[in-house]
Amino acid sequence: MLDNMFLSSVVEWSRLQFALTAVFHWFFVPLTLGLSFLIAIMESIYVKTGNEFWKKAVKFWMTIFGINFAIGVATGIILEFEFGTNWSNYSWFVGDIFGAPLAIEGIFAFFMESTFIAIMFFGWNKVGRKTHALASWLTAFGANISALWILVANSWMQHPVGMTFNPDTARNEMNNFWDVLFNPTAISKFFHTITSGYVLSAVVVIGISAWFLLKGREIIFAKKSIIVASIFGLLSSAVLIFTGDSSGHNIAHTQPMKLAAMEGLYKGKQGAGLSVIGLLDHSKMHGDDKKAFLFNLEIPKLLSFMGYRDLNAFVPGIDDLVDGGYEYTDQNGTKVTAISVEEKIQRGKAAITAFSEYKKAKTEGNTIAAEDAKTRIEDNFRYFGYGYLNNPSDVIPNVPLCYYSFRIMVGLGFLFIFVFIVTLCIALKKDGNFKKWVLYLSILTVPLVYIASQAGWVVAEMGRQPWTIQDLLPTVAATSRIDASAVMITFFLFFVLFSILLVADLKILFSQIKKGPNISNE
């Protein structure tokens, strides 16, 4: 019992510390992903026109980019170290697979960024215009390629493919790199994540430009920046919607419990509707007779279509996924009956037991017993992680958090599209006079876009709990054997450090914005 309490304490504090680091890291990264391309676009206009106005505009936005880039790198490095310090069991279990994309990210993308970012910032008077513009484009591609490999690793955790378990080393080993790279979950997540960063950067550029207009400063600079950013934001939003739909379709097949939690769906339905907005009954539990919603407005049959491309498809709810017994079509197109979580737990325990017997047989040199145990491991390995769970309801994530976070993300996304359309239409007019409410709304969207961005990650990561690796390793079995007090201390140290970095970032950022690009309004 004490050992379980110890583990629970370490697990919860390790999760909290990792969440803290990830949240702070994601304050800085999405702006650099999109702003790098906006800088490259503006510099290409400068190269084509030779107008010094665009050079000054590029230098201003480069300063904003550089401030966030530096702190984003610092927090990202800490994240990678935490895999070894707090999640060593996870690192051992899948390090051969998870480490590969991170190594590629470090060797390829990071060095690509470092090389060309130096030319971008310090090469204005040392290389020609076209060479400098090329460096800006390569910096943008480098930053986004860096994101690709990180998201490939994250997506593998959501949908593990391209690997086999080696009982001799107790590690999962990659057997197909291309399956890992072209994992459908990775493709959807990559494009959805980077385009969310593009939308965020467009909102930030519009918000800063709106502040200049309110102050009556840098009028031409602000309006031209709004035009570029709003077009970029609209195009990114279109891709974001498409990739969001693709992600939902993948989740329906690979993480149905996450989809059910996102929709507050307890009882499965044929022709299930998509909840637009609702109020959950927070006292609702698995298996009881209470209604999930106190109020719910939904679009009929849309959830079935989004998840299965069939208006009348059956969408399993939380109760169905826990209890089993419903029919679904597997990846081979065969109709099968879902088994209960209770049975998955038993099969997971059977895999763990067989693994222990395999190690014992190998030590004793009993080849027949070892082969028998290995066969039982292979038969049950897909449920390996369930063997560490004690209660079938452990597989249910925080439903209210997933449900409301998803609607915050989507709802704010449509607000941003509205802002892009309105600001673009006004900026393109001859007089281009912005109403104050439009400018204030544009400024207000800056903190809102960060809330939307964080809400997206809450859905992605909280929705897959209790899993570190979907179905294979729960968080309770992934942590290091360290004292909980050590994690507690570092959590508060990181909180203070990250808070200082955030305050410093904002102070420098606001200082640079107040200085402005100093471009004539003529």
* Number of Cα atoms under 13 Å in the Cβ half of residue 475: 20
The residue type of 353 is: T
Q: What are the 10-residue block averages of pLDDT along the chain, 522 residues in total?
A: 54 90 90 93 93 91 88 82 87 86 78 82 88 92 89 92 91 91 92 95 96 92 94 96 93 94 94 94 90 93 92 93 86 82 95 93 91 93 93 94 96 96 92 89 96 94 93 91 87 91 90 84 46
pLDDT in tens, 151-198: 999 999 999 999 999 999 989 999 999 999 999 999 999 999 999 999
**What is the value of pTM for the model shown?**
0.92
State the pLDDT at residue 82.
86
Count other C-beta atoms under 10 Å from residue 63's C-beta.
16
- At 397, is the secondary structure helix, strand, or coil? coil
pLDDT in tens, 250-290: 999 999 999 999 999 999 999 999 999 999 998 999 988 89
CA distance 423 to 419: 6
State the pLDDT at residue 1.
38
Pairing between β-strand 163-166 and β-strand 293-299 as defined by DSSP bridges: unpaired
Residue 202's nearest CA partner among 239, 170, 250 is 239
State the pLDDT at residue 8.
59
CA distance 199 to 417: 9
Count other C-beta atoms under 10 Å from residue 425's C-beta.
11
CA distance 387 to 114: 44
Strand partners, 469: 473
* Three-class HEC string of 336-395: EECCCHHHHHHHHHHHHHHHHHHHHHHHHCCHHHHHHHHHHHHHHHHHHHHHHCCCHHHH
pLDDT in tens, 439-462: 999 999 999 999 999 999 999 999
Residue 181 tokens read as 């790279």
State the pLDDT at residue 429.
87
CA distance 258 to 302: 17
Kindly write down the DSSP assignment for every residue of 107-138, as one continuous string.
IIIHHHHHHHHHHHHH-TTTS-HHHHHHHHHH
State the pLDDT at residue 522.
43
CA distance 520 to 522: 5
Residue 258 tokens read as 């996450």
Residue 420's nearest CA partner among 226, 238, 263, 259 is 226
Residue 98's nearest CA partner among 177, 21, 17, 170 is 177
Are the CB atoms for 334 and 408 separated by under 8 Å?
Answer: no
pLDDT in tens, 310-342: 999 999 999 999 999 888 876 667 788 999 999
Residue 267 has phi, psi (to 5 degrees) of: -105, 120
Straight-line distance from the first to the last Cα atom of the chain, in angstroms, rounded to the nearest whole number: 75
Count other C-beta atoms under 10 Å from residue 72's C-beta.
22
**Which residues lie closer than 8 Å to 82 by C-beta, 6 or more apart?**
17, 18, 21
State the pLDDT at residue 6.
46
CA distance 184 to 197: 20
CA distance 301 to 103: 43
- At 311, is the secondary structure helix, strand, or coil? coil
Count other C-beta atoms under 10 Å from residue 367's C-beta.
10
